[in-house]
Amino acid sequence: MAAGRHAAAEDLLRRALALRKQAVDTHATVQTVTRLGAALLWARHPDRALEVLEPAVGEFADLAPDPAFVALEAQYGRALFLSDEFRRALEVMERVLEAAERADLVGVLADALVTRGSALGFVGRIREGLGVIEIGERLARTNGLTSTLMRAINNRASSLYDFDPPATIELTREGLELARRVGDRGALFAMRGLLGFGLQLTADLDGALASFEAGLAEEPEPADALVLADGVIIVRAARGEAVAEQLAELERLAVGITDSNTAWTTVDAPAWVAFCDGRFDEAARRWREGAARMPGVAPGWLPAAGSASLASGDAAGAASHLAALDATGLHTPALELHRGRLRAGIAALEGRSSDAARGYRDALQGMLDLGLAWDHALATVEMAVVMGHSDPVVGAAVAIARPVLERARAAPFLARLDAALGRSAAEPPPPTRTSGTTDAGTPEAARNASIAPS
């Protein structure tokens, strides 16, 4: 399991389970079932983990509150969480936390707190969830619970993107060093992905690409490779490089992967490539339809779909994506900035230039304050496209964003910016469309976007 050899780990544990059952040792059998479930979850097979854990919880229920059963139920709750059964997971974790506290099972308690906090974030209680994860993290640090500590770092960092990107980078660097020190390859790949996306948010595309490629160089199994491959595609497409081979490889890696926490990459990568190539309707459709199927990433994809619609002059489509985002009920500092950006873009396409300038100014300043240099640069390109170059707000933002895009070598976005700034001040913005991407589907209730929670 530590080596990231998921198929081998599963085979060994299934053989161990058969031997345990022959020996008629109930406690040992429960412990092995629990470990097998954990192995399947690390391999990104929550459906198969539930097939093992759910019947075991029923079969061995008479053991409660024995520590072996409490640990089994904790893993069952984690499997529900990773299967997007968030509210059921929270119900299970309430029982687990009470039993673990009463029996002084500190290891189970710490891990269950991480699961509960993560599930809370996915039902929209993001700040509360972060606090609960942090309690589990502190318990893990105090008691030397390395695996739980890495889970806590992974899951807390995933949510911190929207609150404090620099803190996310600092936390994932710690997680990366810890994974290296203990030789946990699965955690190392996860931290490589988290670090790469964190660096991208700060517009350090060189650092992001180096992190993704360093992970792939260690030849992870498909479950661990997907997020890293997605990151490579995103950076290279942002630079205008051909990525057809990488997209084909990502599809190959995804065969048989059912976990939405990694399968989202098969939507995100081609949508982003379409966006970089200027195929805006396709990008908006892919992100919007993906948000309906995978609500966990809807908070990231709906603003992206809005950007694509704005780029094509589709105010109605952008308004539809914004309404879908509002319907999630999720609020974070970053999401509020993107809401403001979308409202400003819609105002620009509708000819309300003063509202657009004011909205973009506030959103762009907020992105700089939060440390979202990459989002600021892309939002500046978007503003230039929908507003032209006559407003001083555009010129001030471009002065900051252009050097960022140049350092990132983001050729498609620089070309888009130059084209927008070359438009005559008397020339109107792109025509507002009344249809386009609005029929792509409505997302289900969304949860906080994250990168492969564990």
Alpha-carbon gap, residue 130 to 71, rounded angstroms: 23
Rg (CA), the chain: 23
Q: Tell me the mean pLDDT in the region 403-420.
A: 96
pLDDT at residue 134, as a whole number: 96
Q: Is residue 384 within a helix (H) or strand (E), and if so which, with residue range?
A: helix 373-387
The tens digit of pLDDT for each residue in 283-293 reads 999 999 999 98
Arithmetic mean of pLDDT, 156-175: 92
In the block, residue with structure tokens 């509002």: 326
Q: What is the mean pLDDT of residues 413-428?
A: 76
Mean pLDDT of the chain: 90
Calpha distance 193→268 (Å, rounded): 14
Distance in angstroms (rounded) separating the CA atoms of residues 440 and 323: 13
CA terminus-to-terminus distance, the chain = 14
260: pLDDT strictly greater than 90: no
Lowest mean pLDDT among 19-28, 98-107, 108-117: 19-28
Phi, psi dihedral angles at 451 (to 5 degrees): -105, 105
Of the pLDDT bands very low, low, confident and very high (cuts 50, 70, 90), residue 452 is low
Separation CA 268–CA 247 (nearest Å): 11
State how far the alpha carbon of 353 is from the alpha carbons of 253, 317, 357, 419, 421, in Å: 46, 19, 6, 20, 16
Q: Which two tokens stand for residue 401?
A: 């964003």
Query: What local confidence, expressed as pLDDT, does residue 88 receive?
Result: 97
Residues 171, 160: contact at Cβ < 8 Å?
A: yes
Nearest to 195 by CA among 237, 218, 167: 167
In 3D space, the residue among 38, 42, 77, 35 whose CA is nearest the CA of residue 57 turns out to be: 77
Work out the pLDDT band at 259, boundaries 50, 70, 90: confident
Find the mean pLDDT for residues 53-68: 94
> Looking at the predicted structure, is the pLDDT value of residue 217 above 80?
yes
Handedness of CA 365, 366, 369, 374 (dihedral sign): negative
Residue 419: what are its φ and ψ, rounded to 5°? -65, -40
Which runs of consecutive H residues, i.e. helices, occur in 143-221? 146-160, 165-182, 185-201, 205-217
| Surface-to-core class of residue 16, CB atoms within 10 Å of its CB (0-12 exposed, 13-18 middle, 19+ buried) | middle
Region at 105 (left for phi over 0; alpha for psi -120 to 50; beta for the rest): beta
Do you find a cis peptide bond into 270, omega within 30 degrees of 0? no
To the nearest 10°, the Cα dihedral for 148, 153, 156, 160?
A: 180
Q: What is the pLDDT of residues 426-448, one digit of tens each?
A: 444 455 454 433 333 322 322 33
Task: Return d(Cα 337, Cα 342) in angstroms, integer.
Answer: 9
Question: What amino acid is encoded at 129 in this protein?
Answer: G
Which whole-number Å values give the CA distances from 376 to 103, 175, 272, 276, 380, in the listed order? 50, 27, 17, 16, 6
Give the span between the Cα atoms of 118 and 185, in whole angstroms: 22
Residue 396: both structure tokens together: 């001030």
What letters, b where the CB count within 10 A reaches 16 and e where it falls short, cover 223-255?
A: bbbbbbbbbbbbbbbbbbeebeebbebbeebbe
Predicted pLDDT at 159: 85
Per-residue pLDDT band at 158 (split at 50, 70, 90): confident
Q: What are phi and psi of 5, to 5 degrees?
A: -100, 80
pLDDT at 303: 97
Supply the pLDDT for residue 295.
81
Structure confidence by residue, pLDDT tens digits, 71-85? 999 999 999 999 889
On the question of a cis peptide bond just before residue 430, with omega within 30 degrees of 0, the verdict is no
Which tops the pLDDT comparison, 38 or 442? 38
pTM: 0.86
pLDDT tens across 339-371, in order? 999 999 999 999 999 999 999 999 999 999 999
Q: How distant is the alpha carbon of residue 70 from its chain centre?
A: 30
Q: What is the pLDDT of residue 451?
A: 57
Whole-number Å distance between alpha carbons of 74 and 94: 10
Question: Which band of pLDDT confidence, cut at 50, 70 and 90, is reported for residue 454?
Answer: confident
Q: How many residues does the chain have?
A: 454
